[in-house]
Amino acid sequence: MALHVELLQYTGEPEKIISAAAKLCYSSSGVKDVLDGLDKAGVQRFLTMLMDLGHESPIEHVSFTFGVEGVSRSLLAQLTRHRIASYSVKSQRYVREGQFEFVTPPAIAADAKACDIYLASMEAAQKAYNELAERLSEQYLAGYLQEGIAEKKARSMAEKKAIEDARFVLPNACETKLIMTMNARSLLNFFHHRCCTRAQWEIRAMADEMLRLVREVAPTLFALAGPSCVAGPCPEGKMTCGRAAEMRKKYKTGEDA
């Protein structure tokens, strides 16, 4: 299943709101007139000042909500390390994986033999999941019926409890869907880490698409977004990819690396 990212919602006029917060910090304006005079030039001036000063707290006032599908549970484990965010994820406890979708790494897809091994592994996982779900469901159903629970309710309870245990055989490749919300400061940090060439290919592809979407609605705010080397030196030390100039060109102009 292919990666798909949508920008579902975001703070209205995000750059203006950030500029208003900055204006309140650096001028005598009150809350009643803090938005006054914030035309395009004024917004540009305050945002540029913030970036030059490294004053990032005002950008926390705006947030962006994304819908994502076609990503693996492996990506999810990496994504939730970004803790200043909100996540809602398709549950494997409540949603039965009747025929689970899965993500195939490009290197495996490009190798016929590797692809055969991979597909066989996915089929085996599906078979084991189905067999465990059925067996456990029968066991739980018998126990609930013995307790005197009505059959319809007992079947529903047994199904839920069975798939809760059967999901342990599902692979990291299993596709999932999620909605996540980040404020702009957390989002910039996310891009610093996940647009980097050292990031895993799947989450890097997702980060690049997220960055493309937010630049459409807040171009000045995210002008220097991307890996850390776009706006400064590479922080990876001896682990650097050595492609800082190439990355600056890609993320500042939108050209492919």
Residue of 194, 198, 204, 243 with catalytic role: 194
CA angle 252, 253, 254 (to 5 degrees): 105
How far is residue 185 CA from its own chain's centroid?
Answer: 15
Pairing of strands 86-89, 175-183: antiparallel
Alpha-carbon gap, residue 181 to 86, rounded angstroms: 5
Cβ atoms of residues 82 and 210 within 8 Å: no
- State yes or no: is 194 an active-site residue: yes
Catalytic residues: 194
